[in-house]
Amino acid sequence: MRRRASLVLLALAVFCAAMAPTLRWYAFPRLAKIPPNQYQETVLEAKPAILLDYTTLKAEKVDKITIIQTLKGNVEESRRIERDAGRDVVVWDALAYITGPDGKMVSKVPERYIFDAHTQDPVNATGESVDGDPVRREGIEFKWPFLTEKRDYQYFDAQTRTSSPIHYRGTRTFRGTEVYYFEQTIPWTEVPMPKTMPVKGITPQLLADSGLTRWYTTKRMFWVEPVTGAPVNGEEIHKEELRNAKALMGRDTLTVFEGHVKMREDYVRSVGEMVSSNRLTVLLLVSYLPWSLTLLALLLLALALWLEARSRRSVPAPATAPLNPPV
């Protein structure tokens, strides 16, 4: 009976030992993914800021500007692209909607971001765009991969429509959570005019025909929770200018926007709560369950060997015949 029990325990030990690496190296890459129907809204503010008043063509200091960033999963488009790509794809229809202190629209820039649901690598497909212009992304945007590494990544900048390195600057603690801190600086670069302008009658073409050019620079900062790859905080020190404006405005350069953009406090808290929940799910697959199964396998193996040893000791020794039996 003990020998049979030891064989059962040995079989269970082998099963647990096999399941541990299977969960980590086979199940995790397939199960951990971004859902195609995800919706997320983030509000950022710059307080105070400098903003161009297009009615007077003067840059003025304002109390704040607000940027509402939405990411909405487009399920129909993801299914369409998946048929050709042969892998799980997420399509995010993003919108950066900027309002002034009076709540009126300053600008809005739509994006369509297409990426692999598991790795967050870009999937270049028809429809990928920024402000209606087709683009071909390289590198990440909005989110880092699961199990983010301590290294630089290519990060896509929507204003310049190009990718450049975002640099890992070390491990930090953000509100009790260990995070990786990343920085990217975009030098002064000429960028397209936004297609939606805040004043009726002023169009990008009108500004371009007058000889004006739009230039932009930013320092981008992210605090990224490495298990989920989700930023728990983001900031930008952002500046935009109109140049070659002397003929119209009496000066060559005019500030369009300048400010230190930060996530609003209530959204920092809500993002942190969402990341904490997702972090536990990922850790179950990559750490908690594999290590628990490994320890359980060792325990079952030890118990099986112990039962086998006891079963051997309990078997009576066979009787031996005397060397010189009596006649």
Residue pLDDT, tens place only, 274-308: 898 889 889 988 888 889 989 988 898 888 788 77
Q: Say if residue 122 is in the same domain as residue 213.
A: yes
What value does the mean pLDDT take over residues 210-226?
Answer: 93
Q: How many domains does the chain have?
A: 2
The answer to whether residues 150 and 288 belong to one domain is no
Give exposure, 77-107, as e/b (b: 16+ Cβ within 10 Å): bbebbbeeeeebbbbbbbebbbbbbeeeebb
Q: Within a domain: residue 321? A: no
Three-state DSSP state, 220 = strand
Is 137 contained in some domain? yes
Residues 199, 146 share a domain: yes
Single pTM value for the model = 0.88
Residues 246, 300, single domain; the answer is: no
> pLDDT per residue over 168-184, tens digit each?
999 999 999 999 999 99
Tell whether 81 and 130 lie within a shared domain. yes
Could you tell me the residue range of the domain that residue 40 belongs to? 32-263
Q: In angstroms, rounded to a whole number, what is the distance separating the alpha carbons of residues 209 and 266? A: 43
Question: What confidence score (pLDDT) does residue 196 get?
Answer: 87
63 and 156 belong to one structural domain: yes
Residue of higher predicted confidence among 280 and 325: 280
Same domain, 212 and 289: no
Residues 219 and 95 in one domain: yes
Of 124, 176, 181, 131, which Cα lies nearest the Cα of 157? Answer: 131
Residue 225 CB neighbours (<10 A): 24
DSSP string spanning 70-132? EEEE-HHHHHHHHHHH-S-EEEEEEEEEEE-TTS-EEEEEEEEEEEETTT--B---TT-EETT
Q: Is residue 109 part of a domain?
A: yes
Amino acid at residue number 23: L
Assess whether 36 and 142 both reside in one domain: yes
Residue 274, domain member (yes or no): no
